């Protein structure tokens, strides 16, 4: 990939050619108020784009080298060879799929420090438990419970000793732009397209009806689509992990719009797909940390990995078990709403489910 190669733009879930401005060039911005397109110095524009692209690539390389020196990234890249422009396959992957707004992200910015301090002071009710379970100095995937009104992302950001880049709902939260998107950018979030593929038509209708005012149209659009592609989100998440950083996701997704009486809580398997893609790129297993949040209380559960020999049919069960067990450490009643799975993550038979649910 050249220094001015294609860069992923999370706002349109596509790959765009970087022209110097964050997120790629926008021709609409080059039209004045009279509807006429002003003259543009193409040579100056091209030179500016090359300068910005070179700077972005330089920052990405420095972060990879820094992570390698500190032991966050071990061993050679997946190919064990240097690629174009002398960069390893690892560096090329990070440079290609790292979202533009995260290339110079500073987790210790004044904004982040003030936000985390405010959450700890006004929202967190007691000291977080299980912080010692968080592996230090290695990239991690945080899988977090997600119930309406709990503010789990903020609670995790404020109590974790390391910054976490959380996934945020693309259609509901990110795409609207404005102050909401600016706020999420400052927190280093990643937009991910939502899905209701596991819900029945009746459940989808209840989710849409229960959506907050102003969000029902977005929820209806999510309910209407039959399939989604989040390839770019997964690649960006892996790029962050390869840079030695942490990613946080809510495996329950929009299922949390339904009450426990309407739908059993369970995890989508996307977190395990990120882990698999990371292993394909690095040859290493990434640590996965379950987190439960309820009424200002936070518990970090035992970390685990998804070995390569685990069948993908068990991914959802493994994640669900982890969230259920961690939630039970806050309050045993919180564990009751989760769908039962066998200890190995396999599905519980109808007969067994009617008698005694199995948990870890």
Residue of 53, 69, 157, 179 lying closest to 109 (CA atoms): 157
Q: State pLDDT tens for residues 189-215.
A: 999 988 777 777 888 888 888 777 778
Which of the four pLDDT bands, split at 50, 70 and 90, describes residue 48? low
Q: State pLDDT tens for residues 217-227.
A: 888 887 888 76
Residue with tokens 């990879």: 64
| 284 burial type by CB count under 10 A (0-12 exposed, 13-18 middle, 19+ buried) | middle
Q: 349: left (phi > 0), else alpha (psi -120 to 50), else beta? A: beta
Is the pLDDT at 170 greater than 90? The verdict is: no
Higher pLDDT, 360 or 228: 228
Higher pLDDT, 139 or 169: 139
Asked if 8 contacts 99 with a C-beta cutoff of 8 angstroms, the reply is yes
Residue of 198, 349, 359, 173 lying closest to 270 (CA atoms): 198
Question: How confident is the model over 290-309, as a mean pLDDT?
Answer: 96
Higher pLDDT, 53 or 13: 53
Is the pLDDT at 64 greater than 50? The verdict is: no
- 190: which 2 tokens? 């990643």
Question: How confident is the model over 17-27, as a mean pLDDT?
Answer: 35
Cross-sheet strand order for the sheet of 247-249: 190-192, 165-169, 247-249, 140-144, 287-294, 297-300
Q: State pLDDT tens for residues 319-352.
A: 999 999 999 999 999 998 899 999 999 999 755 5
Asked if 291 contacts 145 with a C-beta cutoff of 8 angstroms, the reply is yes
What pTM was estimated for this model as a whole?
0.73
- 338: which 2 tokens? 């989760």
State what percent of residues in the chain have pLDDT above 70: 70
Higher pLDDT, 38 or 344: 344
pLDDT of residue 198: 72
pLDDT of residue 130: 98
Q: Give the pairing of strands 6-9 and 14-17.
A: antiparallel
């Amino acid at each position: 990939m050249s220094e001015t190669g294609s860069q992923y733009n999370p706002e349109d879930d596509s790959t765009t050619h970087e022209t110097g401005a964050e997120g790629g060039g926008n021709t609409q911005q080059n039209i004045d108020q009279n509807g006429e397109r002003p003259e543009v110095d193409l040579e100056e524009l091209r030179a500016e784009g090359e300068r910005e692209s070179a700077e972005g690539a330089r920052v990405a390389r420095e972060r990879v080298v820094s992570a390698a020196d500190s032991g966050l990234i071990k061993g050679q890249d997946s190919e064990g060879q240097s690629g174009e422009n002398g960069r390893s396959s690892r560096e090329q992957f990070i440079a290609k799929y790292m979202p533009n707004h995260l290339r110079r992200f500073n987790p210790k910015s004044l904004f982040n420090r003030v936000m985390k301090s405010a959450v700890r002071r006004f929202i967190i009710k007691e000291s977080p438990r299980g912080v010692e379970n968080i592996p230090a100095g290695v990239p991690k995937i945080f899988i977090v419970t997600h119930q309406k009104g709990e503010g789990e992302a903020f609670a995790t950001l404020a109590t974790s000793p390391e910054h976490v880049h959380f996934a945020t709902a693309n259609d509901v939260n990110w795409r609207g732009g404005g102050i909401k998107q600016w706020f999420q950018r400052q927190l280093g979030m990643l937009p991910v397209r939502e899905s209701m593929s596991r819900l029945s038509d009746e459940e989808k209708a209840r989710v849409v009806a229960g959506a907050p005012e102003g969000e029902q149209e977005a929820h209806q659009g999510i309910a209407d689509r039959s399939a989604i592609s989040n390839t770019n989100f997964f690649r960006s998440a892996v790029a962050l992990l390869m840079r030695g950083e942490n990613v946080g996701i809510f495996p329950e997704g929009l299922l949390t719009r339904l009450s426990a009486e309407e739908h059993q809580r369970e995890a989508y398997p996307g977190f395990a797909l990120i882990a698999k893609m990371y292993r394909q790129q690095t040859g290493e297993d990434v640590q996965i940390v379950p987190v439960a949040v309820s009424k200002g209380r936070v518990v970090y559960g035992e970390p685990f990995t998804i070995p390569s020999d685990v069948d993908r049919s068990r991914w959802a069960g493994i994640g669900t078990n982890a969230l259920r067990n961690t939630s039970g450490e806050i309050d045993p009643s919180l564990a009751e709403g989760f769908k039962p799975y066998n200890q190995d993550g396999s599905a519980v038979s109808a007969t067994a489910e009617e008698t005694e649910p199995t948990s870890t």
